[in-house]
Amino acid sequence: MKVYDNFNLTEYNSYRIKSKCKKAYFPENEHDIIKLFSLKKDYILLGSGHNLILSKAYYDADFVVFNGNFDRIEIRNDSNVIVAESGATILTVSETAEKNSLTGAEFLFDIPSSVGGAVVMNAGTKEGETKNILKKVRYLDLKDMTVNEKSNEDLELEYRTSFFQKNKNTIILKAWFKLSKGDPSEIRRIMNESKTRRWSKQPRDYPNCGSVFKRPPGNFVGPMIDELGLKGFTIGGAQVSKKHSGFIVNKGNATGTDILELIQYIQDKVKKRHNINLEVEQRII
């Protein structure tokens, strides 16, 4: 396990917010994770760095990071199952599926997330959600330090939420994805089309963390923000994307405070015009 003091988190969050933490731990296996959390419980967890906002320039706290570590993937061709540790990226899961002629994970291609993050948020697109292919999850329960497993039907997987989001004292260790045999060329075609469609609509020219808000029932966030004339509106280095108003981008040296103030401004304007409380999808640390 690697440990770093005064660790720079700038390259470990996709907003590229400049931030540091007191200490960062990079566990390599379950034993490392259990050892860490047996000593204390108040670590801050950081996965791939997507779908989150670092609100501080410095954290007088210890981080446990799953990014480039704890990321092994196994393929079980006899049962068409991919088993991935929580630090693996879902991009790698989708590419592993393609290489083994397994279909069902195409929608994960180009969604920026770790396996752990995808399970917690039930990540997905119009083409599918994590819950569609998730078979079971192995996790550490911090209340009694036991390692447990839950199957799909017990994970409370709903739109951008899950059992794990509702139960903060849990650490996802591993996930099983159940897929089906398919044609590799067709799998690649679907993956490429999905990526092209997303890139045509989403801002990729500036650092961002994806969709900022959950979609309220019966409405779409982008058009509501467009109607308010907020496309391109800027606070500090944070800007409502000119390409898609549902995204906030870092135009240059944005701080966590800039992003949070811009979010609050948008929420206030939408509430006043539409009487809708926009819920932030991204995790605020």
The alpha carbon torsion through 20, 26, 30, 34 (nearest 10 deg) reads -50
HEC letters along 5-64: EEEECHHHCCCCCCCEEEEEEECCCHHHHHHHHHHCCCCEEECCCCCEECCCCEEEEEEE
Six-digit token string for 270: 């939408």
| 170: CB partners within 8 A, 6+ apart | 139, 140, 141, 142, 163, 164
Q: Is 227 a catalytic residue?
A: no
Q: Is 160 a catalytic residue?
A: yes
Q: Is 55 a catalytic residue?
A: no
Cα(134)–Cα(162) distance, rounded to whole angstroms? 12
Among 160, 241, 245, 283, the one annotated catalytic: 160
Among 98, 106, 129, 281, the one annotated catalytic: 281
- Tokens 């075609």 belong to 189
Among 114, 162, 211, 241, the one annotated catalytic: 211
Residues with catalytic annotation?
A: 160, 211, 281
